[in-house]
Amino acid sequence: MIKTRLTTAAILTAVLMTVSATFGTASSSMAAEPVANSTTDAAPLKPFEARYEARAMGMRAKAFRTLQLVEGEVYRLQNSVTLTLLGATVGSVAESSEFRWLAGELIPLQYRYDQTGISSRSESVDFDWANNVAQSTYKDESWSLPLQPGIMDKLSYGTRMGRDISTGGLTEVSYNIVDAEDIEVHLYRVTAEEVLSTPAGNLNTLRIERIRDPGSSRKTTVWLAKDWGYLLVRLEQVSDSGTTELELESATVDGQALTGL
């Protein structure tokens, strides 16, 4: 029984971490300066609702991702996933980010992460731009971190990535991300344009890979839909413990049902 619970916990963590990570939130020790990103697209973001299937170690879970306009220029991006085993819920994740989209700039306001079940943890960040301080908490610890323009949370920067690539024409982007007591540099590179076959149909996508430290055994690749506001279509993370995948099943973007080519 103990062995079964430990195995389930490992599977749960693999699935939930992949879904919540979105583009892979594990810390990077890269010391390189961030790449200068730019975007001139000040158009409002397109709200969406998307449904995914997550797979790890032979198990599957349903995941959901939404972007909603809260008020004015404030948006809420949310991830959620629940893993069931023999009809019983063994774990779930609720992750959210509220940010302001102002003149093409993404300004994070707050981040929340709650994982419950066999494997549990919580995390939050509150961005105080009036005093240029981010209050970060992880489990039972907290830190005050200095803020500078361009610093973002673990979830919302994926929204900024789509705009930087599509509008700025960039093929390599980096972001400063609040991660517990640190501000880490996350670096990504566009590696290909592909027509990807998905349960939602064939989609024009950009394949993007995360650039990690030399010698790292982890590999994170994401595919974004070019014709649908650079919506996340697929994520694949390879590590020593195996491969975890996230694949789009269906979506509605700006009130329009997503369809293939």
- Measured distance CA(235)–CA(8) in Å, rounded: 22
What are the two backbone dihedrals, phi and then psi, of residue 128, each rounded to the nearest 5 degrees? -105, 90
> Which residue's entry shows tokens 């301080």?
133
SS3 assignment, position 29: coil
What are the two backbone dihedrals, phi and then psi, of residue 14, each rounded to the nearest 5 degrees? -60, -45
Q: Which residues contact 64 (CB under 8 A, 6 or more apart)?
A: 49, 50, 51, 52, 78, 79, 80, 81
Are residues 178 and 152 in contact, defined by beta-carbon separation less than 8 angstroms? yes
The domain locations on the chain are 2-257
One digit per residue, the tens of pLDDT, for the chain of length 261 reads 333 333 444 445 555 555 555 444 443 434 334 444 555 556 788 999 999 988 877 777 888 999 999 998 999 999 888 777 777 777 788 899 999 998 888 999 999 998 887 778 899 999 999 999 999 999 889 999 999 999 999 998 888 888 888 776 778 888 999 988 999 888 999 999 999 999 999 999 999 998 888 877 888 899 999 999 899 999 988 877 778 888 999 999 999 999 999
Give one DSSP letter per residue of 74-86, joined into a string: EEEEEEEEEEEET
What are the two backbone dihedrals, phi and then psi, of residue 213, each rounded to the nearest 5 degrees? -60, 145
Q: Quick check: pTM over 0.95?
A: no
- Measured distance CA(213)–CA(76) in Å, rounded: 31
Nearest to 244 by CA among 235, 231, 253, 257: 235
The beta-strand segments (E) located in 129-253 are: 133-138, 141-146, 151-152, 172-179, 182-198, 201-211, 219-225, 231-239, 242-253
What are the two backbone dihedrals, phi and then psi, of residue 164, each rounded to the nearest 5 degrees? -60, -40
